[in-house]
Amino acid sequence: MSKSIPHRIYLSEDDIPKAWYNLRADMKEKHDPMLNPGTGKPITEEELYPVFCKALAHQELDQETRFIEIPEEVRNFYKIYRPSPLCRAYNLEKALGTPAKIYYKFEGNNTSGSHKLNSAVAQAYYAKAEGLTGLATETGAGQWGTAMAEACSYFGLDLTVYMVKVSYNQKPFRKAIMETFGATVYSSPSDTTNSGRAILASDPNTNGSLGIAISEAVEVAVTNEGKRYVLGSVLNQVLLHQSGIGLESVKAMEMIDEYPDIVIGCSGGGSNLGGLVAPFAADKILGKANPRIIAVEPVSCPSFTRGKYAYDFCDTAKTTPLAKMYTLGCGFQPSANHAGGLRYHAMSPILSKLYHDGYMEAVAVEQTSVFEAATLFAKHETILPAPESAHAIRTTIDEALKCKETGEEKTILFGLTGTGYFDMVAYAQYLDGSMTDYVPTDDDLKPGFDSLPQIG
Amino acid sequence: MSKSIPHRIYLSEDDIPKAWYNLRADMKEKHDPMLNPGTGKPITEEELYPVFCKALAHQELDQETRFIEIPEEVRNFYKIYRPSPLCRAYNLEKALGTPAKIYYKFEGNNTSGSHKLNSAVAQAYYAKAEGLTGLATETGAGQWGTAMAEACSYFGLDLTVYMVKVSYNQKPFRKAIMETFGATVYSSPSDTTNSGRAILASDPNTNGSLGIAISEAVEVAVTNEGKRYVLGSVLNQVLLHQSGIGLESVKAMEMIDEYPDIVIGCSGGGSNLGGLVAPFAADKILGKANPRIIAVEPVSCPSFTRGKYAYDFCDTAKTTPLAKMYTLGCGFQPSANHAGGLRYHAMSPILSKLYHDGYMEAVAVEQTSVFEAATLFAKHETILPAPESAHAIRTTIDEALKCKETGEEKTILFGLTGTGYFDMVAYAQYLDGSMTDYVPTDDDLKPGFDSLPQIG
């Protein structure tokens, strides 16, 4: 064990980035523009104003500004829980017997339990600064909703959360924590919106989906003058706000004279992965370094590995702008046996473009193997990971074991996005053997692909 | 807001203490000795061997050694999650409008969710080092059981946990997390021990209690050669292992030129409070400084504020040695409406002596006011506190509001022992107004006092 590198590398408060990094400014080819589904033309900032507050609409479309200053009020909030630690997984390395050096950027040390708070703080701040009264959003596993509830409580905004029905029923404690922070939480689909009522009418027993919940939240925003919609992933603005994860990782690794050979992150909509890899992807694009970048997704929701690179809606009711993404189709419904998040039908346009252009790899992993990795990690590193984060752990372990075979001392960095305290039902299913894997057949994926709009 | 003091003060890995601090060595009057209930004489180290492993039996009775070296294997484990941060509650101060400076030592950033891991690691290490195969323990709220499960998993020991029935039923996720770390968990009283069967026979509908669960775990230890008993609070050895909390707090406060006017901790059995206050109590005893030290307990389990200072058993079945403690009597049964931990009938002998000798104050607070404080804290500091920790928050807020009235800029340090992720049932009860307070009458306390042994 190297004595010179501590188990936990903490930066100082002054090391919290002063600006977010906008990877798009350094991409040689920009991702295809978001389209107005009515006109088929690139959407304008003004067309986004009914959905997003102005500052965020601007950030969503800004492909040019390399660094965007973080408002002081946002940095003040960040100081409560950031910088997050970069951790050396000495004990996991020892348990695996690998010569690889494993680092993880741990984003779970805040009450929301995940990295989601990084963007929630920013989105709530801009809404408050523009004089809005409230926000509406969706949540799946509950981490994003909790983060938004915290941020809205802090800045004094109302929050309405549409929680995917299957999670709402499985995770009553997630609901309680959001309510502790003052949020109003509905099971989605709900009878509080037209889109929710329509889906309930056609399928009363639906489990719900992120796509449906997004439709409901967007509807609340566009039909209430003082409210706007916020989303915890996929969007360019979210990846921007999450870039602090990557920037802090670079700074911490510089302190210990390290640079990763492999960067690994779980990918649902891409918020964590996009934030973690931003500076490393830039190094690849700019020819400064050539780390492998690996996205890890569930086999049951395989946007990268089995999706199509196509224009699609971000929601099920087809009310949002169109984005060019790796997608399973906005009509895709994830299997009910799927634990945790990473259920979204599509992938961040920025990450989709990076993947399409060969800057990034993707692998899909089965959930029982994910929980096996999670349990091993917990026993040796004493942090119980969120199931989402455990996807990255699975692939990290796989890569570390390859190093064991080859003898290579690779440096691996992965994103430990959050903790699994609210996922004990899934852990219990893994422990008692009742957890199953689900690999969709091509026929299973067909309805989703059939739902793709005929555009682009 | 002072610019010079960050929100989070992190020490380096090298600042993890090399030795625990044994406050007993500096107490002018030692606490009364533990007695063998059979002989009425002070118990010997050897008499403790059937219950505790040898090193811990020695630590339990060692009143002389001021600093006890922390084994390297224990420090290596500590490095995964320590030093814990000292946090400045700028946002809470602002919300209260107080001139007081509020600091908290946050022990919740590990999967066990609390400070309990500090002693669990030590106890598991010594057991493994002496060649034992397993340990048995009790858990109430589940934090101690989780901590022991983590520690035993790490060192490769079997663990049997007797979980107080009411918690076992209310907190299935706590059970799942202990099982994730490989522990065997029984609802207590259980049919696996003589003491459990006896209590079930006399009261089949009992809610269980820590005292009963201790009886069962001790029975497993003394009837299995390769097993010993471990306890998460009350014991002198536990306070010793928790002294790192106080030592790190002193070091972090020195870095920012601070010293507390008031030190506040919640008190159930005293593990956190004893660890946090050890160096500050020493300063008082040695005349170096004179901070107020305040223990905060629930009105429903008022060991300090309404208990008797008397010899008592540590368990309900009266199988343990006798200790001189502030106690409600080993037959005391906490009210079922009481949320979270801090349910133990008695208080650490060391803290009892400090309180008796006037080095410490104690206050009792009602649980609805505790959850009010918890919710306020969460909204402003973004950490959802454990109900136990929130007792300290309640009194911290009360003291800070007194400063607001008087204009005094007092420096307050409190122990934030853990997070409340597994306590959402109680939070939900607080939110929906169904949480009630319970102030026992003198008649309610009588059965407990009647159960006190006629000794000393």
Domain boundary among A196, A219, A234: A234
Choose from A118, A175, A384, A434 for mutation: most chain B CBs within 10 A.
Answer: A384
Q: Is A255 left (phi over 0), alpha (psi -120 to 50) or beta?
A: alpha
pLDDT at A3 over 90: no
Yes or no: say if B121 and B153 are a contact pair by the CB < 8 Å rule: no
Q: Does B91 touch chain A (CB under 8 A)?
A: yes
Q: Which helix (H) or strand (E) holds A402?
A: helix A387-406
**Residue A75 burial class via C-beta count within 10 angstroms: exposed 0-12, middle 13-18, buried 19 and up:** middle
Return residues 132-151 of A near B (CB < 8 Å). Answer: 150
What's the pLDDT band for A1 if we cut at 50, 70, 90? very low
SS (H, E, C) A286-324: CCCCCCEEEEEEECCCCHHHHCEEEEEECCCCCCCCEEE
Return residues 53-72 of A near B (CB < 8 Å). Answer: none
Residues in A closer than 8 angstroms to B380, CB to CB, are 154
List of residues 6+ apart from A261 with CB closer than 8 A: A291, A292, A410, A411, A412
Give the number of A-B residue pairs with CB atoms closer than 8 Å.
124
Full residue range of the structural domain in which residue B166 is found: 21-68+116-234
Mean pLDDT on A409-433:
94
Q: Do A422 and A286 belong to one domain? A: yes
Residues of chain A with pLDDT > 70, as a percent, come to: 99
Choose from B153, B382, B423, B430 for mutation: most chain A CBs within 10 A.
Answer: B382
Amino acid at B87: C
Distance in angstroms (rounded) separating the CA atoms of residues B229 and A104: 36
Q: Do A293 and A229 belong to one domain? A: no
Strand, helix or coil for residue A158: strand
Strand, helix or coil for residue B107: coil
| B233 φ, ψ (degrees, to nearest 5) | -155, -170
Q: Does B455 touch chain A (CB under 8 A)?
A: no
Q: Does residue A276 or residue A335 have the better pLDDT?
A: A276
Does residue B207 lie within any of the structural domains?
A: yes
Return residues 163-222 of A near B (CB < 8 Å). Answer: 172-173, 176-177, 179-182
Mean pLDDT on A43-56:
96
Alpha-carbon distance B13 to nearest alpha carbon in chain A (angstroms): 6
What would the two tokens of residue B33 be?
Answer: 């000795």
Q: Do B179 and B281 belong to one domain? A: no
Q: Do B247 and B300 belong to one domain? A: yes
Q: Does B156 touch chain A (CB under 8 A)?
A: no
Q: Do A255 and A330 belong to one domain? A: yes
Rg, C-alpha atoms of chain A = 20
| Cβ–Cβ gap A375/B177 under 8 Å | no
Alpha-carbon distance A393 to nearest alpha carbon in chain B (angstroms): 16
Q: Do A138 and A109 belong to one domain? A: no
Q: Does A439 touch chain B (CB under 8 A)?
A: no
pLDDT at A453 over 70: yes
Does residue B1 lie within any of the structural domains?
A: no
Q: Do B218 and B248 belong to one domain? A: no
Strand, helix or coil for residue B372: helix
Does residue B286 lie within any of the structural domains?
A: yes
Instruction: Pick out chain B residues at pLDDT < 50.
Output: 1-2
Q: Do B254 and B366 belong to one domain? A: yes
Q: Does A422 touch chain B (CB under 8 A)?
A: yes
List of residues 6+ apart from B76 with CB closer than 8 A: none
Q: What is the mean pLDDT of chain A?
A: 94
Alpha-carbon distance A61 to nearest alpha carbon in chain B (angstroms): 31
**C-alpha angle with apex A444: A440 to A449, nearest 5 degrees?**
115
Number of domains in chain A: 2
Strand partners, B366: none
What would the two tokens of residue B42 be?
Answer: 């002070």
Kindly state the DSSP code that residue B203 receives in the 8-state scheme: -
List of residues 6+ apart from B225 with CB closer than 8 A: none
Alpha-carbon distance B295 to nearest alpha carbon in chain A (angstroms): 26
Alpha-carbon distance A91 to nearest alpha carbon in chain B (angstroms): 9
Count CB-CB contacts under 10 A for residue A124: 29
Q: Do B149 and B294 belong to one domain? A: no
Q: Is B88 left (phi over 0), alpha (psi -120 to 50) or beta?
A: beta
At residue A454, the pLDDT reads 85
pLDDT at A456 over 60: no
| Cβ–Cβ gap B421/A424 under 8 Å | no
Report DSSP letters for B43-106, one per residue. Answer: PPHHHHTTTS-HHHHHHHH--S-SEEEPPHHHHHHHHHH-SPPEEE-HHHHHHHT-SSEEEEEE
Kindly state the DSSP code that residue A132 receives in the 8-state scheme: -
What would the two tokens of residue A295 be?
Answer: 């996205």
| Cβ–Cβ gap A428/B172 under 8 Å | yes
What would the two tokens of residue A239 be?
Answer: 């990846």
Distance in angstroms (rounded) separating the CA atoms of residues B59 and A429: 41
Instruction: Select the residue of B154, B172, B424 nearest A379 (Cβ to Cβ).
Output: B154
Cis peptide before A298 (omega within 30 of 0): no
Does residue B456 lie within any of the structural domains?
A: no
Report DSSP letters for B287-303, one per residue. Answer: TS---EEEEEEETTS-H
In tens, the pLDDT along A225-271 reads 999 999 999 999 999 999 999 999 999 999 999 999 999 999 999 99
What would the two tokens of residue A366 be?
Answer: 């089965």
Distance in angstroms (rounded) separating the CA atoms of residues B442 and B285: 34
Q: Do B222 and B147 belong to one domain? A: yes
Q: Does B419 touch chain A (CB under 8 A)?
A: yes
| A189 φ, ψ (degrees, to nearest 5) | -70, 145
Alpha-carbon distance A286 to nearest alpha carbon in chain B (angstroms): 35
Residues in A closer than 8 angstroms to B381, CB to CB, are 80
Task: Enter the ipTM.
Answer: 0.90
Domain boundary among A177, A210, A234: A234
Q: Do B284 and B386 belong to one domain? A: yes
Name which of B99, B94, B4, B383 is nearest A73 in CA terms.
B94
Residues in B closer than 8 angstroms to A180, CB to CB, are 375, 378, 384, 427, 431
At residue B3, the pLDDT reads 53
- From the centroid of its chain, how far is CA B154? 22
Q: Does B79 touch chain A (CB under 8 A)?
A: yes
Count CB-CB contacts under 10 A for residue A22: 23
Name which of B350, B275, B341 is nearest B105 in CA terms.
B275
Domain boundary among B201, B234, B267: B234
Residue the block writes with tokens 């479309």: A61
| A304 φ, ψ (degrees, to nearest 5) | -70, -50
Cis peptide before A83 (omega within 30 of 0): yes
Residues in A closer than 8 angstroms to B172, CB to CB, are 424, 428
Closest-approach residue (CA) in chain B for A418? B111
Does residue B45 lie within any of the structural domains?
A: yes
Alpha-carbon distance A18 to nearest alpha carbon in chain B (angstroms): 16
Distance in angstroms (rounded) separating the CA atoms of residues B297 and B392: 8
Q: Does B89 touch chain A (CB under 8 A)?
A: no
Q: Do B409 and B388 belong to one domain? A: yes
Distance in angstroms (rounded) separating the CA atoms of residues A305 and B440: 62
Alpha-carbon distance B38 to nearest alpha carbon in chain A (angstroms): 42
Distance in angstroms (rounded) separating the CA atoms of residues A335 and A440: 9
Please report which residue ranges of A69-209 form alpha helices under DSSP H. 72-81, 90-96, 117-129, 143-155, 165-170, 172-180, 194-202
Does residue B74 lie within any of the structural domains?
A: no
What would the two tokens of residue A261 be?
Answer: 């050979």
Instruction: Select the residue of B111, B182, B378 nearest A180 (Cβ to Cβ).
Output: B378
List of residues 6+ apart from A386 with CB closer than 8 A: A108, A113, A114, A141, A143, A340, A341, A417, A418, A419, A420, A423
In tens, the pLDDT along A362-414 reads 999 999 999 999 999 998 998 999 999 999 999 999 999 999 999 999 999 99
| Cβ–Cβ gap B180/A13 under 8 Å | no
Does residue A272 lie within any of the structural domains?
A: yes
Alpha-carbon distance A374 to nearest alpha carbon in chain B (angstroms): 10
| Cβ–Cβ gap B384/A180 under 8 Å | yes
Distance in angstroms (rounded) separating the CA atoms of residues A372 and A152: 36
Name which of A239, A286, A204, A339 is nearest A31 in CA terms.
A239
Residue the block writes with tokens 């796509």: A211
Does residue A75 lie within any of the structural domains?
A: no
**Residue B26 burial class via C-beta count within 10 angstroms: exposed 0-12, middle 13-18, buried 19 and up:** middle
Looking at residue A187, which CATH number applies to its domain?
3.40.50.1100
Q: Which helix (H) or strand (E) holds B229?
A: strand B227-229
Distance in angstroms (rounded) separating the CA atoms of residues A111 and B383: 5
- From the centroid of its chain, how far is CA B229? 17
Yes or no: say if A1 and B13 are a contact pair by the CB < 8 Å rule: no
